[in-house]
A and B are shown apart, each in its own frame.
Chain A
Amino acid sequence: MNMVEHFRTSKSPFKATYGNFIGGKWVPAQSGKTFDNTSPITGEVICKIARSEAADIEAALDAAHAAKTAWGNSSVATRAVILNKIADVMEQNLGLLALAETWDNGKPIRETTHADLPLAIDHFRYFAGAIRAQEGSLSEIDHDTVAYHFHEPLGVVGQIIPWNFPLLMAVWKLAPALAAGNCVVLKPAEQTPASILVFAELVADLLPPGVLNIVNGFGLEAGKPLASSNRIAKIAFTGETTTGRLIMQYASQNLIPVTLELGGKSPNIFFKDVCAEDDDYFDKAIEGFVMFALNQGEVCTCPSRALIHESIYDQFMEKALKRVAAITAGDPLDPTTMIGAQASSEQLEKILSYMDIGRQEGAQVLAGGARREMQGGLAGGFYMQPTVFKGNNKMRVFQEEIFGPVVSVTTFKDDDEALSIANDTLYGLGAGVWSRSANTCYRFGRAVQAGRVWTNCYHAYPAHAAFGGYKQSGIGRENHKMMLDHYQQTKNMLVSYSPKKLGFF
């Protein structure tokens, strides 16, 4: 059989070299340095990227500060039109952006085409609408005294973007910041620095120079100077807990606010009545279980702990493991591929280290458990078998975010035990609740300590549904108009309309 080698026919869309996008211009790093960007698909170099340092961050901050007054004073209608135009241009170039994202990150083209990009496009439209509809308030303190509340932009903000959804996570942060009238200095992850530059090329002419600045480089050399700068009014970060603490530490030195999204270990809870009938709903619940493999498990809300009522365990898992076995794994550029490459070699190494610890702890491997060996040009890529562990919630594979296509399964005997296991975690970002009983869903949805409880669904990320964490999963809520508050000051004007003095002096 002749296999179509999509990674050969769908060429990488990147230029040979990219500079930084600062003040509306493309400029090399001031040191002249670059670094090689490798694709997780083949492990080979696909382009060179500016390796920036503090001086480049300063140049981007200069450009942003020069632009902030005009942008902050522009009308919401003007900003909304621009955000809508950005969305239109992205839509017209959806294929290109999806291809760039897949080459940069390794995720399947099916997902970038049908999930990442459509969601990113809609996000700009959502915040274009939200900013038009936002209203200040007035409070009548007494008949002659009125408190007006105006929304004002913060000014210049810093954003540090993760590598798991390079475009979508950038847009989750950019759209509300720009809508609210801020100028942005954005530092992409060094594992996935390129797709956002294709985006920037497309939208460069739509934004006034300096409103959006993208500086690439390594975390230590470029991310740290941005996060610790006293010229930003806010820092937004998605990543892990130790760096989250460090970012708060820097922010405390500058007395600026932070928003943090730091991951999770999300429980996906399947109650007894899931299996009451062999119908569409049961089928949907099985798909909900297999969602651990979406985006190769590199999702902060990966449903990486499955809690299954003990009375349905055998029936449920028989179907679930068949569905896991049916996952089409392979060339991320093949439109039928469901699971692609992990984003980096070190990420694959970390996942494999958890295969080792899971086995040592006595977890049973029900599926997968090893690297996925690929042939030909894909042999150098970073591929992992979808893996199902069975064990108990005290094991590290139940307690730490592996960030791979790995789910750890356990059973519960009653509702109390289900809730106790679900909440026995340091994190509280996502959760899934599956039951045919509205009361069970409601009760559990309210009791689970997580910012997002998917109820009879999983991994949906529509704009206008707030997303963020409880406990150590972070601070703030993205994906909703309430995110505007995280990018705005409140100006209160307290006005007296009385001509009479108080009489104190």
Chain B
Amino acid sequence: MTEVLDKVTATPAALQLLAEIVADHGPVMFHQSGGCCDGSSPMCYPQGDFLLGDRDVKLGEIGGMPFYISGSQFELWKHTDLIIDVVKGRGGMFSLDNGREQRFLTRSEVCAI
């Protein structure tokens, strides 16, 4: 059986924004991005919109919504726990926080592996 991870939490501001998004769009999921431009952003999509792969890892849940990262990125990030926060901003590509003048932002905390 796959180990259940609990490596992601959210600030009250993030939970507030998440609640607004869920009210508008229904249940959502997160996928932690990497790479250039908006890389390192936690992307938020309607559940089922983003096709999960066999090697994506579920880091936990925030506000009852699942949070994933790719398996390869997990290997490099697993010594850190993630704290999802909110900042002013407007990027995020197809993420549901896009256009709300607020963005989810991933902060991190070094943890025991």
Contacts and interface: CB of A to CB of B under 8 A. Distances in A.
Contacts of B40: 240, 350, 353-354, 400-403
Nearest to A253: B51
A396 B77 contact: yes
Interface in B32-52: 32-41, 43, 45, 49-51
A234 B106 CA distance: 32
Contacts of A75: none
A220 B98 contact: yes
B94 A219 contact: yes
A300 B96 CA distance: 25
Nearest to B99: A218
Interface in B69-94: 70, 72-73, 76-77, 79-80, 87-94
The residue in B72, B73, B94 that gathers the most chain A C-beta atoms within 10 A of its C-beta is B94
Contacts of A218: 90, 98-99
B50 A249 contact: yes
A445 interface: no
A221 interface: yes
Contacts of A349: 87, 89, 105
A394 B75 CA distance: 10
B98 A350 contact: no
A239 B34 contact: no
Contact of B35 (A189, A239, A346, A353): A239
A403 B37 CA distance: 7
Interface in A455-495: 472-473
Nearest to B49: A246
A360 B35 CA distance: 21
B76 A241 contact: no
Contacts of B76: 394, 396, 399-400, 426
B35 to A, nearest CB: 3
B7 to A, nearest CB: 14
Contact of A243 (B88, B93, B109): B93
A353 B106 CA distance: 8
A428 to B, nearest CB: 12
Contacts of B96: 220
Interface string A299-311: 0100000000000
Size category of the binding interface on chain B = 35 or more
Given A344-B90, A344-B91, A349-B87, A240 B107 contact: no
Contacts of B73: 241, 426
B39 A400 contact: yes
B108 A249 contact: no
B58 interface: no
A344 B39 contact: no
Contacts of A249: 50-51
Contacts of A353: 40, 105-108
B72 A472 contact: yes
Given A241-B34, A360-B110, A401 B39 contact: yes
Given A223-B94, A344-B91, A426-B72, A242 B99 contact: no
Contacts of B77: 396, 399-400
A191 B90 contact: yes
B35 A263 contact: yes
Nearest to B76: A399
Contacts of A273: none
B107 A262 contact: no
Contact of A346 (B39, B51, B80, B88): B88
B50 A240 contact: no
A162 B38 CA distance: 9
Contacts of B31: 242
Contact of B34 (A238, A242, A357, A360): A242
A224 B80 CA distance: 31
Contacts of A264: 35-36
B33 A220 contact: no
Contact of B41 (A240, A300, A427, A472): A240
A357 B99 CA distance: 28
Contacts of B92: 219-220
A316 B24 CA distance: 55
A199 to B, nearest CB: 20
Contacts of A34: none
Interface in B44-65: 45, 49-51
B39 A403 contact: yes
Interface string A160-189: 001110000000000000000000000001
Nearest to A225: B94
B37 A163 contact: yes
A104 interface: no
Given A220-B93, A241-B34, 20 more contacts: A162-B36, A164-B36, A190-B98, A220-B96, A239-B36, A240-B93, A244-B35, A246-B45, A249-B51, A263-B37, A345-B89, A346-B91, A347-B89, A347-B91, A349-B89, A360-B110, A400-B77, A401-B39, A403-B36, A426-B34
13 contacts: A164-B37, A189-B91, A221-B99, A240-B40, A241-B33, A242-B50, A263-B37, A264-B35, A396-B77, A396-B108, A400-B40, A401-B40, A403-B36
Q: List the 5 closest A-B pairs by CB distance, nearest first.
A: A346-B89, A263-B36, A263-B35, A242-B33, A240-B39
